[in-house]
Amino acid sequence: MTAVLHAQELGKRYGRRWALRDCTVDIPAGHVVGLVGPNGAGKTTLLKLASGHLAPTSGRISVLGGPAGGQEQLARVGFVAQDTPTYAGLTVAEHLRLGARLNPGWDAALARERIERHGLDPGRRAGRLSGGERAQLALTLGLAKRPELLILDEPVAALDPLARREFLRGLMEATAEHELSVVLSSHLISDLERTCDYLIVLVDSRIRVAGEVDELLATHHRLTGPRRDPGRLPADQHVVSARHTDRQSTLIVRTDGPILDPVWTVSRLTMEDLILAYLEQAVAAPRRRPALAVVR
């Protein structure tokens, strides 16, 4: 399947600090992708590189088959930043006119329909809108340019639960109707569980795991049993995280094969379990040998 985003050894450095490093990932078309990681992991940097707002320090990145930030790509990519940017002094209607002027593929009918559906007064200035209303206006601007890829950088972080639910509902309706590919960054795992079918976990500026959610959940398992050294597991069972008491071990492992050892009680993971396992692995990494610190 065609990749909407391809990054190869991608890196971005500010002075001596790497905001993103050695990032290699392919995101296939037709998915709603959840990008998750702690603050400072590099999520916003990756999304700004993809949308052409930043240039890489190392490696390369392509979007929709061409260089990120190229004129053709800019017309085919929608971007909604974390603060759902709007111009406080412009009215809703003026935002739509500005969008039509700046975007050759602008869908005026779609913009008007969304504004009416969400009860936004065309004559009201954006600075007088609620947080949820501004988020819906920003999403409308992103959707009405009719992008093939929509990039959302924590667009619901500051919204109350009702406004967040309405925003995500509108996003999923638009995704289904217009067959968009979406990359959604969020700290809220519950939102990702409701909306995403592809997952990327980014920690310490590096990709820890990426793949379709169903496949990741099918190949990751929780093993609970008598305390045991994880190094004694079969070679095809990669240990993602391990917890031990005096008598018991609880391991999260990744494997494509069956788990045949009867000593283990095997249980399924939720998306939250999966994400937290990789975050815990990153926290524990400094105590391990460097070769085990990164999962590619």
Of 216, 138, 200, 139, nearest to 175 (Cα)?
139
Q: How many residues appear in the chain?
A: 296
> Helix or strand or coil: residue 24?
strand
Per-residue pLDDT tens over the stretch 85-123: 789 999 999 999 999 999 989 999 999 999 999 899 999
Cα–Cα dist 141/143, whole Å: 6
Q: Where are the beta strands (DSSP E) in 51-99?
A: 58-63, 66-67, 77-80
Cα–Cα dist 285/293, whole Å: 5
Cα–Cα dist 222/273, whole Å: 9
Low pLDDT (below 50) residues in the chain: 286-296
What is the per-residue pLDDT for 242?
Answer: 94
Phi, psi of 151 (to 5 degrees): -110, 125
Cα–Cα dist 202/153, whole Å: 14
pTM, to two decimals: 0.87
Of 83, 73, 86, 96, nearest to 147 (Cα)?
73
